[in-house]
Amino acid sequence: MRAFVVTGPGRGSVEDVEPPEAGAGQVVVDVARVGVCGTDVEFFTGEMAYLHQGYASYPIRLGHEWCGTVASVGRDVDPAWLGRRVTGDTMLGCGHCRRCLAGGGHVCADRSEIGIRGGFAGALAERLAVPVTALHALPDTVDDTAGALVEPGGNALRSVRGAALTPGDRLLVLGPGTIGLLVAEFARTEGAEVHVVGTSARSLDFARTRGFSGVWPDGRIPALPWDAVVDASNDPAVPALALDLVEPGGRIVYVGLSGTPSRIDTRTLALKDVTAVGILGASAGLAGTIARYADAAVDPRPLVAATVGLDEVGGVLAGRLPDNAGPGPKVHVDPRR
């Protein structure tokens, strides 16, 4: 089968590889759509921390935001999964350690992450093998575009839950990328007054089309009382900014990751009596995201700027958008093209 393989910093191409077989407890999925994520870009540039920490190495097959149809099942898997449209969890815990048994498989020390960590091949390919325990079925009302946005949506939904919003709360989202915009969309369904801050004209122009209460360029954030702040950026200076902006007694959610260490002054954290929440992965937010997409409470599809084939992935990872790309922040891949 065809798959996009990254072989080193700035190097990647479509290769013919052996198709996966469904092992015990696994299924093989015919991949319909894959999202290209900032994490994928960091692997392509060589900046991804896992490369330097020993959790990942080249060659690597990327792709952790995906949906498709179950084509085959392995031993001990219910054959009723055959032919079902699905998406799945990225975080695959060992299943037997203390963290996994307590429901924290996403922070298991021995976890694999599809397309990211532990050598687990990702979805930028025609087919993907995945444990049946990671699957989430997609209803017909969630099409392939929305299905491949469930994983970033799960991160966003968990961020909104971490912000503990109540109707009328004022939320500031720092970073209008895919996750930041989905945070804003989910928060609006909770009755929050939502404001978004960005740096690029393109991202700000698109955010303004989404009908939020305010969209502001960096450096022009209004002096309003922010009940909660979500950092969905990759700027190492933003975590400290979020702490400066949030109201005393408020909540900060950190879901964005920078390529270099960021710093906050914990004295400010304590003296403002602020609660800070870190978000890793979508696991606990996947089912809720599917439900909200299915009932049209949130429609994520306008965030997709273009859908390309495998042969165009290298250009996308290098920062080149297709000529016909729309204004949204996300690029999808259809491996069947």
Cβ(3)–Cβ(298) under 8 Å?
no
Residues 211-230: pLDDT tens digits? Answer: 999 999 999 999 999 999 99
Residues 175 and 144 in one domain: no
Averaged pLDDT for residues 14-23: 98
Mean pLDDT over the full length of the chain: 97
pTM above 0.85, yes or no: yes
> Domain limits at 76?
2-149+300-333
CA dihedral 106, 112, 118, 122 (to 10 degrees): -110
Q: What pLDDT sits at residue 259?
A: 83
Are the beta carbons of 303 and 178 closer than 8 angstroms?
yes
* CA gap 250, 105 in Å, rounded: 29
Q: 296's torsion region: left (phi>0), alpha (psi -120 to 50) or beta? A: left
What angle in degrees, to the nearest 10, is found between the helix axes of 178-189 and 150-163?
60
> Are 187 and 136 in a shared domain?
no
**Do residue 90 and residue 176 come from a single domain?**
no
- Give the mean model confidence (pLDDT) for residues 223-244: 97
Express each pLDDT in 162-210 by its tens digit.
999 999 999 999 999 999 999 999 999 999 999 999 999 999 999 999 9
- What is the total residue count of the chain? 337
If asked whether residues 98 and 229 sit together in one domain, one would say no
CATH of the domain at 313: 3.90.180.10
| 118 and 202 fall within a common domain | no
> Is residue 139 domain-resident?
yes
Q: Lowest mean pLDDT of 86-90, 319-323, 326-330, name the range.
A: 319-323
Could you give the number of structural domains in the chain?
2
Per-residue pLDDT at 138: 98
115 and 163 together in one domain:
no
In 3D space, the residue among 188, 108, 136 whose CA is nearest the CA of residue 27 turns out to be 136
- pLDDT at 85 > cutoff 90: yes
